[in-house]
């Protein structure tokens, strides 16, 4: 090591640039390979959703059928067949949007409120409550699923969205993120100033604190939305009625193949239908999302 | 004299059924009308529900109603209308007991449900019909004003399935489901040198011969069946004991024969272990799938073998049918009126039209090649040389079905059949594929899975 | 917190409680009550037989005993399901952390000056947002016997006949682990990258002056300093791993094929929820609760001891 270091002092520049170049090449190769690994599946999905069942049966083809734009027309044929089937996919889409959207709103608003309570006030149980929330952050929701189902059956809330939406108010992980964010961006002096101006506590929260928390709220809103959009376990237990089911349940129904689900073209289109909208939204917001993840980690 | 009276009674009942069924032919025989005055028809003025909820697990019944019930208008995939009543199709796939679990929940909440949410009709299969007809959640047909005479033409076994322990008939079906062996004519011609049903039957007349033929098929590059699960029903319908005896799970000897025969066939590469209804299993509907035969009843032939897909064997009319090694039945769907229905008149009419109207039943045979639940219609059609199945290459298979339906014995049904059949096939797949080293391991896994599904049962000691 | 100060602050501090009301009320209603309810029923025989309700009858610990023992050595117990869950988690987590560290260090290395970073980050994070159920359904169709993967491998001459990917313990577990890897490595990469960027740059410069190779820098500086974040990633991933459900459930249609070797704890729980077995399902939930608690504590302890 010692000899190494004295040598490197002299040839530092040339060696490093050479080494860096080699490393850069390796990095690019690996990155491209990994990107392909990530995108390959979606490519196959895209190709297969543009093919008819008969074509799919005869084996995989790497390229879409460009002849006469067959791949476009076939995609729409598959889509039309899917529409004509029993899966109420438009309802599914709407239900998913309602549930995930409401969860995102409630979760971020009330988590900020909870975080604000812990952050801005001093009260006897503050520490105890904070520790409690951190502890329960680790409890998986599935553990309480049985009692949860019991509860909502007793409350006659099955086949409604309430048991999916309202619990979002108590989201320990979102709370934790908000709390961390507040510590770095919300000086208590601002609150004091608002108090001196005669602003009520609730108003201060809504008009001063919330706007300052916008970046964190946006990030968490997206995550909560995606998380609930993708959630399968709880909705599958709560929503039995066809028209109330969210997209993941409809997807799962494809898996338990019934005798009319032989059209694999339809199956692929259905998967595409639930994946591609998210991809498009993500591509528009990707920069924001990626930096949001990073933001959470520095604190976490 | 007595005979005459009886025939008059019967014919008036028939007319009444037709009247209610078609609704429009009001000015019929005056005498018949008065004698057939039933309680429900007379209070037709009473306001009834605006929503008819039908619970089912697939689209079969829906398409039957769409095509054959006069006045039904389809709105979209899951709704339709009859007059000013909206028909809601609540479809929950049956896999993993999901359909039954959902139905249970809804029925348990039936009493408190809003009128428009109450179940009016639910469909059941033979596998678990007893679970529902033996409770108060299903309504006896007599309470709707449907008489035994209305249903006199139905096959006896279809009524046995939905008769409760007190002898009340609580459901009705439009179909009978005797099964046959459906073979690819092209493969038969190539390997066996004949495609004539009677001659092909000689190659599959019993299980020993069936296996010899399987070996021949294998040598010629064909699978005998698409999956071991194809033959499952044939064995399981010819059992001499129930799946559950006094709360203890019981595996019949014939089911074990299926295991032994199937294991041998899988090991020899003569068949596969695909799940029924999976994409891989259905590949044999096309020539490239290289499958010699399937087992199935009438609805299977027309409804499930991709007859409308270009390039399929069914589309080309290249299947043939013969009786196969043993008689069996598969499926059958029964309509059960739910207690608390707010549309009794419509429910009654649907049941009578769809399951007891010979004209409609005949239409279903002609249009959909189903085997319908009317002895006179089926006997007439079987003798009708002008009738033939396109899928089966012009063969008239009805005679085979008519003979088969007489042999159907449903005395060994239990309320737990669906779960037992499903789990048994799942566990044995593990044995066939080698994940369970021995038969005993697979059977132990089967017991465990059934007890998990039905905690009330226990494994034999 | 001195007494003198308190007098003034107190009038506001009641608002701390007020703002906590929604959280507490909802949490207690939808989480705590169900939790105690679950624990309570775990000591009962309580299920449905057809349309008839059986129980509730007090049975003490027999539900728990039933989970841990089996009538036949070949019938899986809760230990097997825990093992299935953990092995699939590990198979996904190890490559996840390795790849993430590698990519994170590249992204955060100023000397490398990688171009298109935004693009790569976008791509690797993409799978995280995809519905796990849709992803599982996709992989099911891709890997089925007549699916595109087999078709491709046969076209390339790698396979002579279709391989039963979905009926082989190793391949099913690998596919599940791979999907978990694919869905989470992007997230981890970005977390670690942010952590790496947070490390004081002068440390790297000093190391460079001392002639440390990039590998040495990574092992001696980056990794130790990243430990808090690594532990965070590991805990969250482990908790997530224990909840593994969507992917294997839909991939195997709830069967955990072959022979239940890919059945996770939550899939097993789901079976009892489906058959309305509150007793056994409750017992299983309680055990899951305890396992989760112990695991988080072990990881916490482990991290503290090393400090």
Q: What pLDDT shows up at residue C162?
A: 85
Per-residue pLDDT of C206-263, as tens digits, reads 888 888 887 888 888 888 888 877 877 887 788 889 889 989 998 988 888 888 899 9
Question: Which residues does chain C have within 8 Å of residue A148's beta carbon, measured at their own beta carbons?
Answer: 30-31, 34
Q: Do A251 and C133 contact (CB within 8 A), yes or no?
A: yes
Phi-psi region of B203 (alpha: psi -120 to 50; beta: other; left: phi over 0): alpha
User: Is the same domain home to B202 and B314?
Assistant: yes
Residue contact B455–C146, C-beta within 8 A: no
Q: What pLDDT shows up at residue A5?
A: 43
Residue contact B94–A258, C-beta within 8 A: yes
Residue contact C75–B448, C-beta within 8 A: yes
Where in chain A are all domains bearing CATH 1.10.3720.10? Answer: 86-256
Per the domain annotation, does B460 fall within a domain? Answer: no
Q: Do C126 and A276 contact (CB within 8 A), yes or no?
A: no
Among the ranges given (A95-109, B20-34, B65-79), the one the predictor scored with the smallest mean pLDDT: B20-34
User: Is the same domain home to B97 and B238?
Assistant: no
Which of C54, C72, C172 has the highest number of chain B CBs within 10 A, making it the mutation to test binding with B? C72
Give the CA dihedral C193, C199, C205, C208, nearest 10 degrees.
-60
Distance from the C5 Cα atom to the nearest Cα atom in chain A, whole angstroms: 11
User: Is the same domain home to B441 and B405?
Assistant: yes
What CATH superfamily classification does C70-305 receive?
MetI-like (1.10.3720.10)
C16 touches chain A (CB under 8 A): yes
Q: What pLDDT shows up at residue B251?
A: 94
Indicate the pLDDT class of residue B22, thresholds 50, 70 and 90. very low
pLDDT in single tens digits along all 300 residues of chain A:
344 444 444 444 445 566 778 888 999 999 999 999 999 988 988 888 888 877 777 777 778 877 777 788 888 888 888 887 767 888 899 999 999 999 999 999 999 999 999 988 888 888 888 888 877 877 888 889 889 988 988 888 878 999 999 999 999 888 988 888 888 888 888 888 888 888 888 998 999 899 988 888 888 888 888 889 889 889 988 887 777 889 998 888 777 655 455 678 888 888 888 888 888 888 888 777 777 776 654 443
User: Is the same domain home to B305 and B186?
Assistant: yes
* Residue B293 pLDDT exceeds 90: yes
Distance from the A121 Cα atom to the nearest Cα atom in chain C, whole angstroms: 5
Per-residue pLDDT of C23-78, as tens digits, reads 999 999 999 999 999 999 999 998 888 788 887 888 889 899 988 887 777 788 88
Per the domain annotation, does B29 fall within a domain? Answer: no
Q: Do A277 and A271 contact (CB within 8 A), yes or no?
A: no
Per-residue pLDDT of B389-427, as tens digits, reads 888 888 888 888 888 888 777 778 888 888 899 899 999
C291 touches chain A (CB under 8 A): no
Give the CA dihedral B215, B216, B221, B224, nearest 10 degrees.
-60
Q: How far is Cα B74 from Cα B67, in angstroms, rounded to an integer?
A: 10
Question: Which residues does chain C have within 8 Å of residue B137's beta carbon, measured at their own beta carbons?
Answer: 51
Per the domain annotation, does B383 fall within a domain? Answer: no
Q: What pLDDT shows up at residue A61?
A: 78
Per the domain annotation, does B66 fall within a domain? Answer: yes
Per the domain annotation, does B374 fall within a domain? Answer: no
Place of tokens 């249970």: B104
**In chain A, what's the furthest Cα-to-Cα distance?**
78
Query: What share of chain C has pLDDT > 90, as a percent?
Result: 31
Q: Which residues contact A43 (CB under 8 A, 6 or more apart)?
A: none
Which of B105, B107, B277 has the highest number of chain A CBs within 10 A, making it the mutation to test binding with A? B277
Q: DSSP letter at B1?
A: -
| Inter-chain Cβ pairs, chain A and chain C, closer than 8 A | 307
User: Is the same domain home to B248 and B293?
Assistant: yes
* Residue B59 pLDDT exceeds 90: no
User: Is the same domain home to B69 and B128?
Assistant: yes
Q: How far is Cα C228 from Cα C232, in angstroms, rounded to an integer?
A: 6
A41 touches chain C (CB under 8 A): yes
Q: What pLDDT shows up at residue B308?
A: 76
Q: What pLDDT shows up at residue C262?
A: 92
B262 touches chain A (CB under 8 A): no
User: Is the same domain home to B95 and B230?
Assistant: no
Alpha-carbon distances, residue B327 vs A279, B23, B177, B258, B330 (angstroms) = 53, 39, 11, 15, 10
B11 touches chain A (CB under 8 A): no
User: Is the same domain home to B195 and B146?
Assistant: no
User: Is the same domain home to B299 and B345?
Assistant: no
In chain B, DSSP finds a helix count (H) and a strand count (E) of: 20, 13
What angle, 0 to 180 degrees and rounded to 10, lies between the N-to-C axes of helices C169-197 and A2-49? Answer: 130
**Closest residue of chain A to B101, computed from CA coordinates:** A240
* Residue C149 pLDDT exceeds 70: yes
Domain total in chain B = 2
Distance from the C249 Cα atom to the nearest Cα atom in chain B, whole angstroms: 12
Per the domain annotation, does B379 fall within a domain? Answer: no
Alpha-carbon distances, residue A52 vs A48, A58, B30, B309, C14 (angstroms) = 8, 10, 57, 10, 65
Q: Do C283 and C63 contact (CB within 8 A), yes or no?
A: yes
Q: What pLDDT shows up at residue B208?
A: 93
Distance from the B448 Cα atom to the nearest Cα atom in chain C, whole angstroms: 7
What's the CATH code, domain A86-256?
A: 1.10.3720.10
Q: What pLDDT shows up at residue B170?
A: 92
Q: What pLDDT shows up at residue A51?
A: 86
Question: Which residues does chain C have within 8 Å of residue A24's beta carbon, measured at their own beta carbons?
Answer: 112-114
| Inter-chain Cβ pairs, chain A and chain B, closer than 8 A | 64
**Closest residue of chain A to C184, computed from CA coordinates:** A38
State whether residue C58 is helix, strand or coil. Answer: strand
Indicate the pLDDT class of residue B109, thresholds 50, 70 and 90. confident
Alpha-carbon distances, residue A197 vs A71, A189, A227, C10 (angstroms) = 65, 12, 40, 19
Q: What pLDDT shows up at residue A223?
A: 83
C290 touches chain A (CB under 8 A): no
Residue contact A232–C129, C-beta within 8 A: no
Residue whose C-alpha is closest to residue A279's, from C122, C247, C117, C250: C122
Which of the other chains make 3 or more beta carbon contacts under 8 angstroms with chain B? Answer: A, C
Residue contact A256–B95, C-beta within 8 A: yes
C167 touches chain A (CB under 8 A): no
A46 touches chain C (CB under 8 A): no
Indicate the pLDDT class of residue B40, thresholds 50, 70 and 90. very low
HSE of A54, CA atoms in CB hemisphere, 13 A = 12
Query: What share of chain B has pLDDT > 90, as a percent?
Result: 32
The domains of chain C are located at 15-64, 70-305
User: Is the same domain home to B316 and B337?
Assistant: no
Domain that holds residue B270: 179-330+388-453
ipTM for this prediction: 0.81
Distance from the B278 Cα atom to the nearest Cα atom in chain A, whole angstroms: 6
Q: What pLDDT shows up at residue A256?
A: 65
Residue contact C22–A205, C-beta within 8 A: no
Q: Residue B51's domain is classified under what CATH number?
A: 3.40.190.10
Which of A57, A86, A259 has the CB atom closest to B78's CB atom? Answer: A86
User: Is the same domain home to B307 and B338?
Assistant: no
């Amino acid at each position: 090591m010692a000899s190494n270091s004295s040598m490197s002092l002299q040839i530092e520049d040339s060696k490093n640039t050479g080494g860096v170049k080699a490393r850069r090449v390796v990095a690019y190769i690996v990155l491209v390979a990994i990107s392909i690994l990530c995108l390959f599946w979606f490519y196959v999905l895209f190709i297969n959703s543009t093919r008819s069942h008969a074509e799919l049966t005869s084996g995989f083809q790497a390229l879409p059928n460009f002849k006469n734009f067959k791949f476009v027309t076939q995609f729409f044929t598959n889509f039309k067949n899917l529409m004509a089937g029993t899966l109420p996919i438009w309802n599914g889409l709407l239900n998913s949007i309602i549930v995930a959207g409401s969860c995102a709103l409630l979760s971020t608003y009330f988590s900020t409120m909870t975080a604000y309570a812990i952050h801005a006030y001093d009260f006897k149980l503050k520490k105890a409550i904070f520790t409690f929330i951190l502890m329960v952050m680790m409890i998986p929701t599935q553990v309480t699923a049985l009692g949860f189902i019991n509860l909502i059956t007793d409350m006659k809330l099955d086949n409604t969205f309430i048991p999916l939406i309202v619990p979002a108010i108590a989201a320990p992980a979102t709370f934790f993120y908000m709390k961390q964010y507040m510590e770095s961006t919300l000086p208590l002096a601002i609150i004091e100033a608002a108090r001196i101006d005669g602003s009520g506590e609730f108003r201060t929260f809504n008009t001063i604190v919330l706007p300052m928390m916008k970046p964190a709220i946006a990030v968490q809103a997206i995550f909560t939305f995606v998380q609930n959009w993708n959630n399968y376990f709880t909705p599958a237990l709560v929503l039995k009625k066809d028209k109330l089911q969210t997209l993941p349940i409809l997807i799962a129904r494809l898996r338990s193949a019934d005798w009319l689900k032989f059209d694999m073209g339809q199956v692929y289109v259905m998967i595409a239908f639930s994946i591609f909208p998210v991809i498009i939204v993500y591509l528009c917001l990707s920069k924001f999302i990626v930096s949001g993840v990073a933001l959470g980690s520095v604190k976490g | 004299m007595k005979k005459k009276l009886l025939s008059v009674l019967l014919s008036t009942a028939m007319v009444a059924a037709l009247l209610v069924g078609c609704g429009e032919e009001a000015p019929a025989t005056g005498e018949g009308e008065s004698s057939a005055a039933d309680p429900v028809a007379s209070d037709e003025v009473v306001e009834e529900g605006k929503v008819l909820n039908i619970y089912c697990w697939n689209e079969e019944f829906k398409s039957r109603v769409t095509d054959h019930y006069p006045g039904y208008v389809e709105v979209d995939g899951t709704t339709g209308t009859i007059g000013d009543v909206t028909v809601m199709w609540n479809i929950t796939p049956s896999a993993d007991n999901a359909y039954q679990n959902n139905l249970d929940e809804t029925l348990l909440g039936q009493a408190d449900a809003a009128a428009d949410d109450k179940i009016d009709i639910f469909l059941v299969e033979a596998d678990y019909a007893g679970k529902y007809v033996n409770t108060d959640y299903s309504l006896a047909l007599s309470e709707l004003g449907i008489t035994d005479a209305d249903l006199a033409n139905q096959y006896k076994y279809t009524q046995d399935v939905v008769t409760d322990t007190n002898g009340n008939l609580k459901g009705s079906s439009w179909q009978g489901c005797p099964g046959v062996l459906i073979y690819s004519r092209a493969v038969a011609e190539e390997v066996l040198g004949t495609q004539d049903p009677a001659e092909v039957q000689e190659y599959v007349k019993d299980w020993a011969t069936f296996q010899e033929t399987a070996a021949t098929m294998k040598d010629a590059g064909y699978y005998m069946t698409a999956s071991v699960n194809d033959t499952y029903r044939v064995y399981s319908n010819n059992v001499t004991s129930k799946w559950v005896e006094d709360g203890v799970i019981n595996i019949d000897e014939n089911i074990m024969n299926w295991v032994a025969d199937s294991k041998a066939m899988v090991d020899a590469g003569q068949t596969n272990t695909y799940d029924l209804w999976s994409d891989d299993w259905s590949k044999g509907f096309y020539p490239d799938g290289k499958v010699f035969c399937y087992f199935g009843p009438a609805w299977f032939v027309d409804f499930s073998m991709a007859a409308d897909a270009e390039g399929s064997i069914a589309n080309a009319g290249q299947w043939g049918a013969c009786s196969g090694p043993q008689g069996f039945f598969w499926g059958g769907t029964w309509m059960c009126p739910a207690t608390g229905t707010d549309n009794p008149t419509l429910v009654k009419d649907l049941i009578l039209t769809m399951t007891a109207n010979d004209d409609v039943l005949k239409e279903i045979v002609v249009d959909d090649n189903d085997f319908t639940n009317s002895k006179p219609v089926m006997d007439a059609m079987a003798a009708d040389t002008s009738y033939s199945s396109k899928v089966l290459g012009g063969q008239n298979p009805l005679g085979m079905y008519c003979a088969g339906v007489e042999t159907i014995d449903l005395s060994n049904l239990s309320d737990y059949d669906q779960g037992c059949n499903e789990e048994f096939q799942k566990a044995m797949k593990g044995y066939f594929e080698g994940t369970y080293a021995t038969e005993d391991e697979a059977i132990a896994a089967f017991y465990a899975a059934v007890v998990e599904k039905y905690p009330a049962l226990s494994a034999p000691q | 917190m001195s007494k003198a100060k308190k007098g003034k602050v107190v009038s506001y501090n009641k608002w701390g409680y007020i703002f906590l009301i929604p959280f507490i009320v909802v949490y207690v209603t939808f989480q705590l009550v169900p939790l105690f309810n679950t624990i309570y029923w775990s000591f009962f025989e309580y299920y449905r037989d057809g349309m008839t309700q059986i129980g509730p009858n007090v049975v003490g610990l027999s539900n728990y005993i039933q989970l841990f023992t089996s009538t036949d050595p070949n019938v899986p117990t809760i230990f097997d399901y825990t093992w299935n869950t953990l092995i699939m988690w590990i198979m996904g987590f190890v490559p996840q952390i390795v790849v993430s560290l590698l990519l994170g260090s590249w992204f955060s290395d100023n000397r490398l000056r990688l171009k298109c970073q935004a693009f790569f980050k976008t791509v690797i994070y993409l799978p995280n947002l995809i519905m796990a159920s849709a992803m599982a359904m996709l992989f099911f169709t891709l890997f089925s016997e007549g699916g595109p993967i087999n078709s491709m491998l046969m076209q390339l001459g790698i396979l002579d006949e279709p391989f039963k990917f979905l009926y082989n313990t190793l391949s099913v577990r690998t596919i599940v682990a791979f999907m978990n890897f694919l869905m989470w490595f992007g997230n981890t990469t970005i977390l670690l990258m942010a952590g790496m960027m947070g490390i004081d740059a002068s440390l790297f410069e000093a190391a460079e002056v001392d002639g440390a190779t990039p590998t040495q820098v990574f092992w001696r500086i980056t990794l130790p300093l990243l430990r808090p974040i690594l532990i965070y990633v590991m805990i969250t991933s482990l908790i997530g791993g224990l909840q593994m459900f969507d992917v294997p459930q839909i991939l195997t249609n709830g069967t955990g094929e072959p022979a239940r070797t890919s059945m996770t704890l939550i899939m097993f729980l789901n079976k009892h929820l489906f058959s309305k077995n509150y007793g056994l399902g409750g017992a299983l939930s309680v055990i899951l609760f305890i396992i989760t608690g112990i695991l988080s504590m072990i990881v916490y302890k482990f991290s503290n001891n090393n400090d």
